[in-house]
């Protein structure tokens, strides 16, 4: 395997966790005899500071030429003032749109060893294994925006084909898991959600009759995600709801630092990133949890490069390090001594050979 991978470290802890993922990918290449070539490019606030744009043309060109793209994190208070003319997040939205990655897969699996890291009771979260499939290139994040001194608006738009394709992704994923799909909307209030429900129900009934389906309003889904998370297999929902629900779901696993994601489209090229933000308060301290970033690298191997054995090995190495007691500060219990980002990465990579 010879593949070009674009690395976008971004802002805050992004460079630190990207470095961990980079190390993991390089070690996989060495152990399994692959050739991975890497280009490191600017994105987000770092790109604004250097070029004035959150997504410079050479960054986009590299991403389009790559087999896969890995992103650390973007954003931070330096660029988030209410009157900022250019924001880091704009670059991320543009990147997703240009790559055509409309399906964001966010797996949430609770490790037995980390049950106590969650604020929820062990009896509720033990055995949780679900995936949120978030529609990524439509909805309110991409709709027309207006603002003057007294009023602002964000337009939420969805088309039938956007709902159909994301529901198909969720159903196909569920067919290889426990055959259950829960569609989440706000159909009692929003017209876009009423379209979503009609199209989702029709698509699932006609094309996937073998799938067990459930429909929940987003507020009910938020409640059930904490009260009966083991009941969920695959959750499919629109852009903003998916963003919020997966941050909530991170508390099942104990920390955002444990959850990876893959953003996929119709080609094999995907965008991979940990779901956490840039965490500027801990940037540069070597304390961030690299597990989500390294697990995102495993998803890159699996989905864009079709290297299933290698992806399984990375996931197993993360699990082995956790089982052996390796803990960064975000998942350490009282009395446990946390280790650094670098040391956690070292311990994970030790399991890769």
Supply the residues annotated as catalytic: 141, 186, 219, 243, 247
Q: Render 289-329 in DSSP notation, one character per residue.
A: --HHHHHHHHHHHHHTS--HHHHHHHHHHHHHHHHTT---G
d(CA 83, CA 86): 9
Using alpha carbons, select from 123, 27, 88 the residue that is nearest to residue 349.
27
CA 211 from chain center: how many Å?
25
Q: Which of 294, 187, 305, 290 is nearest to 238 (CA)?
A: 187
Contact 221, 184 (CB under 8 A): yes
* Residue count of the chain: 353
Return the sign of the alpha-carbon dihedral for residues 349, 18, 131, 230: positive
The Cβ-side half-sphere exposure at 151, using a 13 Å CA radius, reads 1
Strands of the sheet containing 262-264, edge to edge, are: 35-40, 2-10, 68-73, 271-272, 262-264, 103-109, 129-135, 234-237, 180-185, 212-217
Instruction: Let me know: does 73 contact 10? Beta carbons within 8 Å.
Output: yes
Q: Are 3 and 305 in contact (CB under 8 A)?
A: yes
Residues 6+ apart with CB under 8 A from 326: 339, 343, 344, 347, 348
Q: Where are the beta strands (DSSP E) in 175-228?
A: 180-185, 212-217
């Amino acid at each position: 395997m010879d593949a070009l991978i674009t690395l976008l470290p971004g802002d805050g802890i992004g460079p630190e966790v990207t470095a961990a993922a980079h190390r993991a990918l390089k070690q996989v290449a060495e152990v399994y005899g692959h050739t991975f070539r890497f280009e490191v490019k600017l994105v987000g606030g770092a790109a604004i500071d250097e070029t004035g744009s959150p997504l410079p043309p050479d960054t986009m060109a590299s991403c389009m030429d790559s087999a896969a793209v890995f992103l650390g994190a973007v954003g931070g208070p330096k660029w988030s003032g209410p009157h900022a003319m250019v924001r880091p997040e704009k670059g991320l939205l543009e990147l997703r749109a240009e790559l055509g990655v409309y399906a964001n897969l966010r797996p949430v699996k609770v490790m037995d060893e980390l049950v106590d890291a969650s604020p929820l009771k062990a009896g509720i979260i033990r055995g949780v294994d679900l995936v949120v499939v978030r529609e990524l290139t439509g909805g309110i994040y991409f709709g027309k925006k207006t603002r003057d001194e007294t009023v602002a608006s964000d337009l939420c738009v969805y088309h039938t084909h956007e709902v159909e394709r994301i529901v198909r992704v969720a159903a196909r994923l569920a067919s290889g898991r426990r055959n259950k799909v829960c569609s989440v909307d706000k159909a009692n209030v929003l017209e876009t959600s009423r379209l979503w429900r009609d199209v989702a129900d029709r698509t699932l009934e006609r094309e996937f009759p073998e799938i067990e389906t459930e429909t929940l309003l987003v507020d009910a889904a938020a409640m059930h995600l904490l009260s009966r998370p083991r009941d969920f297999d695959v959750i499919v929902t629109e852009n903003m709801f998916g963003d919020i629900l997966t941050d909530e779901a991170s508390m099942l696993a104990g920390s955002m630092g444990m959850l990876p994601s893959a953003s996929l489209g119709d080609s094999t090229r995907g965008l991979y990133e940990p779901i956490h933000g840039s965490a500027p308060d801990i940037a540069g301290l070597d304390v961030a949890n690299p597990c989500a970033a390294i697990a995102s690298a495993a998803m890159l191997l699996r989905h864009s490069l079709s290297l299933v054995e290698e992806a399984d090995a990375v996931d197993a190495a993360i699990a082995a390090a956790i089982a052996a007691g390796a803990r960064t500060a975000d998942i350490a219990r009282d009395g446990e001594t946390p280790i650094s980002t670098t040391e956690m990465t070292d311990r994970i990579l030790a399991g890769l050979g």
